[in-house]
Chain A
Amino acid sequence: MNCGEGIDTRQVDELYINLDPIQAGGRLTTDAMKAVLAYGDGYSVCDHCNKPFRLDHISKPPLAEFHKDLASFVNMDTARLVPGARRGFQAVADALVKPDDPVLLTAYSHYTEFISVEQAKGTPFEIPADESHIITKDAAADRIEEVIRTTGKKPALMFVEQVDYQYGNLHPVADIIKVAHQYDIPVLCNGAYTVGIMEVDGKALGADLLVGSGHKSMAAPAPSGVLATTNEWAETVFRTTRVKGDLTGRTFGIKEVEMMGCTLMGVTSVGMMASFPHVKKRVKEFDSQVKYVNLIVDALLSIEGTTVQSEYPRKHPLTRMNTTESFDKISKTHKKRGFFLTSALRERGIAGILAGSTRVWKFNSYGVTEEQAKYVADAFVDIAKAEGLSCSS
């Protein structure tokens, strides 16, 4: 069934339990799906855009209020919608980093954080992780000292991930930020895997800048996200235009330079807004999601040879497993080779794990019910047993 010429109707989430590492938290709520139906047309939020002609001032649909609610939701002073977390990184790097400025990132920073530094012509320096795949305050302090010593400059900005995309580990962001602040380094906390999934209090973390992803963790269409700041940084990051046309003399009101004026002018912002009441509720139920991921991980660990590379017990549903000594051994002789595992999962109505993976792979169980978590856990054990692997459960 097609939804357009040559475009198949996507039914992954209607047919399967979807464990895709990047898709779980962005799955739309039914209200967001309804918003998509009503606001799919291009500039659909601009029907009632009046002076001063900026997205965060539109009151119908209630985007002005939504911006305030978003800031309050993450306990920051000001928030703007951005087309994905990456555009938040880009806006901040562009505002704060000058050519050749050193910028601190971590061993688990997303590539878009690096590229935002590259675009601003800064020089990236990574804070290493420890053997448990955690970024510590001591590693941050050592790296700051080293960067200052070797470059003769204080880093212009530090990026730190609250939960990283590689291991799904929860890092001691508040401690790291305290260290950075001792050197007067502003910190951008990357909450792409946390804002909208678990409760995030930007002020409690000490973040100067906080970025969340709508399509990754706030049940919103892509590309969407939020960039929130403290009052101290709002003026710098959300500076308004001062440019003037040399022939026409035109000026451009209160458009914000780093936002390129308005950001999410249609289905993305309304989809995000429609999901928001549900998102506010679901972050309070995060403990259940942690319980469910541990249930699945425990089942996987009962399969002989399987290890979990993420911190354990799990504190977040994004998890990295190592099945080199279990499922990968089966793949050597299986007729479907490395595809046997994902194929067996699909036969059981489970999707989202990278096809062909039998060594190191990630899953994200965010959003499953207890019944579905048990079903997934049982499915892994059933597959293992069917292939002759020994299981302790």
Chain B
Amino acid sequence: MPSIAVNTKDITNDNYNLGSPYDYLNLMKPRVMSLVVFTAFVGYYSAIPLVGYTINPILSMIGIFAIALGAGASGVLNQWYDSDIDLLMDRTKNRPIPSGKVQPSEALSFGIITSILSVIILGLSINWLAASLLTFTIFFYSVVYTIWLKRHTVHNIVIGGAAGAFPPIIGHICATGSIGLEALILFLIIFMWTPPHFWALALVNKSDYKAAKIPMLPIVYGDMTTRKNIFIYSLLLMPCVYLPLILNHTGIFYAIVVTVLNVEFIRRSVSILKVNEGSEKGLFVYSIIYLSIIFSSICFDKLINNFITGQI
């Protein structure tokens, strides 16, 4: 029998739940984590030709792991603060805290500890500039976006989108030790991609956001304004994705891929503007594929270039 006594009344209370490791993993938003790891890796990989292959690959992997941990920590702190509104939305009511699988205080401790650990690991394994930016990213997502912007302004995801755009810069710093133009372009692409992506989701889950009283664009200004803004931001995104090509960071392969993807993106945003049925969910799903392929093709283009120039 365990030596530490536990109040039986507490144990039998349904609210007293320790949560499984799986619940804690879910708290870290694994899908968002994987996207962060991917974009950070692209930031890292695209900087390699600038510095040569001198980075210790094991330290690089530890660095990417630390970035993933930091992203997970931000997700935990976000879910801790948002547990009240998560309970009101169908999409989020089964998350570990609102469903009672993890206690809010446990989630808060977990979020703070993993945040600190991720920064220490990144600082010790790579460099402290990358660790500082990771600290700022965690702060930006959990405090500036979650606590301040999300519930108070219609511009929440426009400004808050910066949090999701920092990882490629961190990846770039991991490789070079400084912030470069390539990293800033990747930042700009994600920053401009975020509004059409989330507004499409907001159109799909409008009733959820309304129930939770989150001032998303469709709730405050209506569907048509949202559709127009999705279209405008889609147009603004197009030149941004050509910047790596214009600045000679990528080649012909990237140009072809981006052009094809852009045509489809514009077609889908026009479809949203015309209020076609299912166009909102279509753009939301397509925007994920779009970003994934754009970033993959940056890597692939580098790989082809390195192969041609004999660097590999």
- Chains A and B form a bound pair: no
| Chain B interfacial positions (CB closer than 8 Å to A) | none
